[in-house]
Amino acid sequence: MLSLLVWLPIAGAVAVALLPRTVSKTAGLGVALATLVVGVVVAASYDADGGRQLTEEHEWIEAFGVHYALGVDGLGLLLVLLTVLLVPLVLGAEWFKADAEGSAGARAFVAWTLALEGLSLAVFCATDVFLFYVVFEATLIPAYFLVGGFGREGRGAAALKFLMFQLAGGLILLAAVIGLYVVSAQQGEPSYLLSDLEKLDIGTEAGRWLFFGFFIAFAIKAPLFPLHTWLADTTEKATPGTGVLLVCILDKIGTFGMMRFCLGIFPEASQWATPLVITLALISVVYGAFIAIGQDDIFRLIGLTSLSHFGLITLGVFTMTSQGGTGAILYMINHGLGTAALFLVAGYLYDRSGTSSIREMRGVEKVAPVLAGLLLVAGLATLGLPGLSPFVSEFLVFVAAFDYGWYVGAIAVTAVVLSAIYVLWMYQRTMTGPTPPEVEATTRDLGVREVAAVAPLVAALVFFGFYPAPLLDVSNPMVGDLMHQMGIQDDAPTVVHADLDAGHEGEGAN
């Protein structure tokens, strides 16, 4: 079933590239919706009690212990669902934009988008490290062409900068992957299977060097300070839909990898490096928020807010507690939902105003109240308003941060104030105030297709804000298994339910 999930959009990308232009968009959207259906079936087949499930394993390169191996746990499943949800929404939102003059054309946009979807799904499902590395690097191909082929002037330079950073991280990761082969071969049969590597006795020094090889690659991908400088340039020059694919799907590979591979394969090295990683995460949180406040380009602002949010996700991962791990997983999902909505609505605003400069926009809410309302909801989700799903994940990360150290929590919570500044100030400058005559004459509100692309994201933000149990039920067992594997026990709170029917009124009611 996972092979079908992975190969369906890849096959669809090839088919779309060969189809006539007139039907390419419709066919691509159909493939994306079919992939969404398969993703839902995968989720329905998953047992929430935890463990790696729906596994398949085939020998690939026997001499090196390489397998074509797929499987999902709670973390992988949630990221799979996020991916299959966002791709059809992006295709719907960019329905006409990909045909813009100077772009590579709608057929190319749809084909590269489907290719990126399939490769990203392979990353989240891969349970062989060599297979993971291959698809990890392969995602750069469609991402590069999506950035360089579509968007605004200067996109070619942004695409090249993005590619250079990612290739540098990939080369470092390759060295670490080769190192894993050497270590496993020295202890018997070489194997890249995650299940074998998790049991491997990697020496302290070797483990720490290999850990940094994986971590640096993931810190570039996420990104994390100081390896983040490609992010703002890319989101500024790319289309809003491409921004969603990069920040809300592709960048999640970084934090996914930190949890899956850094903590899973190198537990001792991860605990040893925790003070350094938490320091970098806190710098990312504060620095990303501060520089976001000073941005005039709305897409650059959204990109830099993600630097701050990825700092919080990394912080949750490396506090190494149940609350922190669960908060980090939920944050990956909720950040994807909220930031995707913010990118898409900002894209609609750009289409109407013809500019991404915040200082050149004002008074839009009078003539486009639906657009203004959706921008406000997406912005409030970004700042973690209670009642919207990012609040739940932020709260869990902050609990874990204070548990690690009061000073860590105190620095982390500054993100709440700083995010309120950059979100509300952006909204105030673009939406409120007197409406210029040219804005009133030319600006129209959102159409049905545009609202339909954002409405599922807003619905998910509200639903999981009030009822996060479905996400928690899937993520908690995975975090528990990871903590057990690392040999860590924390004081995660438990709730004892009252048993009134048995005549024990009042017992356990606290």
State the DSSP H helix or E strand holding residue 331, giving kind and residue range, or none if neither. Answer: helix 322-353
Query: Please, where are the H alpha helices in 126-261?
Result: 129-138, 140-149, 155-186, 194-197, 204-221, 230-237, 240-243, 252-257
509: in domain: no
pLDDT for residue 188 is more than 80? no
> Is residue 344 a part of any domain in this protein?
yes
In a domain, 409, yes or no: yes
- Domain extent at residue 355: 273-492
Q: What's the pLDDT at 286?
A: 92
CA-nearest of 444, 477, 256, 270 to 349 is 444
Give alpha helix (H) positions in 260-321: 264-265, 267-293, 298-318
Please state, as a whole number, how many other Cβ atoms lie within 10 Å of the Cβ of residue 424: 14
Question: Does residue 480 fall inside a structural domain?
Answer: yes
- Residue 171's identity, in one-letter code, is L
pLDDT tens for 74-123 read 899 999 999 999 999 999 888 776 666 555 578 888 999 999 999 999 99
Percent of all residues in the chain with a pLDDT value above 70, rounded to a whole number:
94
Do the beta carbons of residue 472 and residue 326 sit within 8 Å?
A: yes
Least reliable range by pLDDT among 32-36, 45-49, 73-77, 277-281: 45-49
Question: What whole-number distance in Å separates Cα of residue 382 and Cα of residue 416?
Answer: 10
Tell me, what's the pLDDT at 504? 47
In a domain, 327, yes or no: yes
Residue 222 binned pLDDT confidence (cut-offs 50, 70, 90): confident
Total domain count, the chain? 1
83 falls within a domain:
no
CB neighbour list of residue 53: distance below 8 Å, 6 or more residues apart: 45, 46, 47, 71, 72, 73
pLDDT in tens, 140-161: 999 999 988 887 888 888 889 9
Q: Mean pLDDT score of the chain, rounded to an integer?
A: 87
- Which pTM value belongs to this model? 0.90
130 located within any domain: no
pLDDT of 507 > 50? The answer is no
Query: What per-residue confidence (pLDDT) applies to 500?
Result: 43
Which pLDDT does position 486 carry in this prediction? Answer: 78
Report which residue type is found at 483. M
* Residue 247 belongs to some domain of the structure: no
Is a pLDDT exceeding 70 seen at residue 503?
A: no
